[in-house]
């Protein structure tokens, strides 16, 4: 059994309390032209006695052009579509925690325990690597979700933790396809940090608890562990582990045409992380989830824009943690399979790579088009 390494959690307590997403509201004091349509939609399916009472209340609330400010209901807002429900019955968010089939029911809001989430896209061929990752995160009290892209789930049941994690299966789908469909911000609202990792990650020099201490102290909304340059497949110098200090937020390099200096604010010098092991605060994930394009399942290009989802200046709120670092094995998995002897039976990897580049081009075109069309949006990093 791996040793349990103690780490301080009191510094993270404040992250457990979120500012939940603000719903689109139906304000009783602001009912104007659409009030008749709204009342018709609501009363159409209510019982006769209830609809009469509700219609009476709506009429009363809009009878005056200037509602009485002392009336606590005059400016009350309710999420659109649920106006007919009493406020206390509205359950806006959920989580990925299991609930018992029997036994006593805990009171709502009774749990103050800190929760974080690890979600990994996995295939059976990397079972042992994933096993090492999961064991470390379970010791740090994470909720764990495995996305099975090869459709194989039962073969994981021999691992002692298999029944304690969640399994979702869809053949030949990517991590970002799963994330867009199963990690909606309202579903993961109770998690302080969301780790969205690939399966080919070595964690010999990584401890989740210490990592959380660092990103909380440094106030990083988007981050990743540094990459061990001696053992990892590295694409960008920015994500290489630096040997001094806990965190770096930029690199200084005038070689190879990078031109990275103290004035650099974006890729490839600062303000981004790579796609294999990003870590988000819930607020940053809410933004990133909306930026994931539903049909661009490889999400190439997204990493270069994740700095826009930091809750502030991306040169300060995005960084790489050097003291807790990982190995990125760079194993290509999607698009290939092997028989029982380890020989390749199909190889669509080249086609997968072609699709990735096509998605990158499409993502960049959509970003450019959206930026030009949205006259109310100002790019905070126009020179990046």
pLDDT tens sequence across 220-258: 999 999 999 998 888 888 999 999 999 999 999 766 667
Is the domain of 67 the same as that of 211? no
Domain boundary among 69, 84, 99: 84
Query: Please, what is the average pLDDT of the chain?
Result: 82
Whether residue 178 is contained in a domain is answered as yes
Tokens of 327: 């190995």
Residues 15, 192 contacting (CB under 8 angstroms)? yes
Whether residue 298 is contained in a domain is answered as yes
User: Residue 128 above 90 pLDDT?
Assistant: yes
Confidence of residue 3 (pLDDT cuts 50, 70, 90): very low
Cβ neighbours, 10 Å, residue 298: 21
Is the domain of 329 the same as that of 265? yes
Reported as a single tens digit per residue, the pLDDT across 18-45 is 444 444 454 443 444 344 344 444 444 4
Is the domain of 74 the same as that of 121? no
For residue 122, give the nearest of 223, 184, 201, 227 by alpha carbon.
Answer: 201
Number of domains in the chain: 2
Encode 149-160: b = buried (16+ Cβ within 10 Å), e = exposed.
bbeeeeebeebe
Which is more confident, 25 or 14? 25
Which is more confident, 370 or 73? 370
Lowest mean pLDDT among 45-49, 265-269, 368-372: 45-49
Domain boundary among 65, 84, 103: 84
CATH assignment at residue 292: 3.90.550
Determine the structural domain holding residue 312 and report its residue range.
116-337+346-373
Share of the chain above pLDDT 70, in %: 75
User: Residue 303 above 80 pLDDT?
Assistant: yes
Is the domain of 181 the same as that of 320? yes
H helices of 116-207, in order, are 127-139, 175-182
Q: State phi, psi for 374 to the nearest 5 degrees.
A: -85, 95
Is the domain of 313 the same as that of 259? yes
Is the domain of 197 the same as that of 312? yes
Q: What per-residue confidence (pLDDT) applies to 145?
A: 98
Reported as a single tens digit per residue, the pLDDT across 67-119 is 556 777 777 777 788 888 998 898 989 999 998 999 988 766 555 567 999 99
Tokens of 288: 């990133």
Residues 321, 224 contacting (CB under 8 angstroms)? yes
Is the domain of 125 the same as that of 184? yes
Whether residue 96 is contained in a domain is answered as no
Domain boundary among 42, 69, 84: 84
Q: In angstroms, rounded to a whole number, what is the distance separating the alpha carbons of residues 241 and 325?
A: 7
Whether residue 89 is contained in a domain is answered as no
Whether residue 103 is contained in a domain is answered as no
Encode 29-60: b = buried (16+ Cβ within 10 Å), e = exposed.
bebeeeeeeebeebbeeeeeeebeebeeebee
* Averaged pLDDT for residues 181-195: 97
Whether residue 174 is contained in a domain is answered as yes
Is the domain of 155 the same as that of 198? yes
Is the domain of 296 the same as that of 175? yes
For residue 229, give the nearest of 251, 261, 210 by alpha carbon.
Answer: 251
Is the domain of 293 the same as that of 206? yes
Is the domain of 36 the same as that of 153? no
Whether residue 65 is contained in a domain is answered as yes
Q: How far is CA 344 from CA 122, 200, 213, 336, 337, in A?
A: 19, 19, 43, 7, 6
Residue 332 has what DSSP assignment?
-
Confidence of residue 333 (pLDDT cuts 50, 70, 90): confident
Q: What per-residue confidence (pLDDT) applies to 254?
A: 65
Which is more confident, 24 or 183? 183
Q: Model pTM?
A: 0.80
Reported as a single tens digit per residue, the pLDDT across 308-325 is 999 999 999 999 999 999
For residue 353, give the nearest of 277, 306, 300 by alpha carbon.
Answer: 300
Whether residue 237 is contained in a domain is answered as yes
Tokens of 308: 């826009």
Provide CB contacts within 8 A for 201, sequence distance 6+.
Answer: 129, 133, 276, 277, 326, 327, 328, 329
Q: In angstroms, rounded to a whole number, what is the distance separating the alpha carbons of residues 118 and 278?
A: 11
Is the domain of 161 the same as that of 49? no
Cβ neighbours, 10 Å, residue 96: 18
User: Residue 10 above 90 pLDDT?
Assistant: no
Half-sphere exposure of 253 (CA within 13 A, CB side): 13
């Amino acid at each position: 059994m791996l040793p349990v390494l103690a780490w301080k959690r009191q510094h993270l307590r404040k992250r457990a309390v979120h500012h939940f997403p603000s719903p689109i509201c139906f304000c009783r004091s602001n009912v104007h032209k659409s009030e008749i349509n709204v009342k018709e939609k609501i009363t159409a399916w209510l019982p006769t006695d209830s609809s009469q009472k509700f219609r009476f209340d709506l009429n009363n609330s809009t009878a005056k052009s200037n509602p009485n400010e002392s009336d606590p209901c005059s400016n009350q807002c309710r999420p659109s579509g649920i106006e007919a429900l009493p406020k206390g019955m509205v359950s806006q968010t959920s989580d990925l925690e299991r609930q018992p089939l029997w036994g006593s029911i805990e009171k709502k809001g009774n749990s103050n325990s800190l929760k974080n989430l690890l979600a990994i896209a996995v295939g059976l061929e990397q079972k042992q690597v994933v096993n090492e990752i999961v064991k470390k995160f379970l010791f740090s009290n994470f909720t764990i979700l495995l996305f099975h892209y090869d459709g194989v789930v039962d073969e994981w049941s021999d691992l002692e933790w298999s029944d304690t994690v969640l399994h979702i299966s869809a053949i030949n789908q990517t991590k970002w396809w799963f994330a867009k469909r199963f990690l909606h911000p309202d579903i993961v609202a109770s998690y302080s940090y969301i780790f969205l990792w690939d399966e080919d990650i070595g964690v010999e020099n990584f401890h989740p608890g210490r990592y959380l201490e660092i990103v909380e102290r440094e106030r990083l909304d988007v981050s990743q562990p540094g990459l061990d340059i001696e053992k990892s497949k590295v694409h960008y110098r920015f994500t290489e582990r630096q040997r001094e200090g806990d965190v770096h937020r930029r690199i200084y390099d005038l070689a190879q045409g990078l031109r990275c200096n103290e004035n650099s604010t974006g890729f490839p010098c600062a303000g981004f992380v790579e796609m294999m092991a990003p870590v988000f605060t819930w607020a940053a994930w809410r933004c990133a989830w909306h930026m994931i394009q539903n049909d661009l399942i490889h999400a190439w290009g997204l990493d270069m824009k994740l700095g826009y989802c930091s809750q502030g200046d991306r040169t300060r709120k995005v960084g790489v943690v050097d003291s807790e670092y990982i190995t990125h094995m760079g194993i290509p998995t999607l698009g290939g399979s092997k028989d029982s002897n380890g020989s390749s039976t199909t190889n669509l990897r080249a086609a997968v790579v072609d699709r990735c580049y096509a998605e990158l081009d499409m993502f960049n075109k959509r970003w450019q088009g959206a930026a030009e069309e949205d006259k109310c949006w100002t790019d905070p990093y126009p020179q990046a």
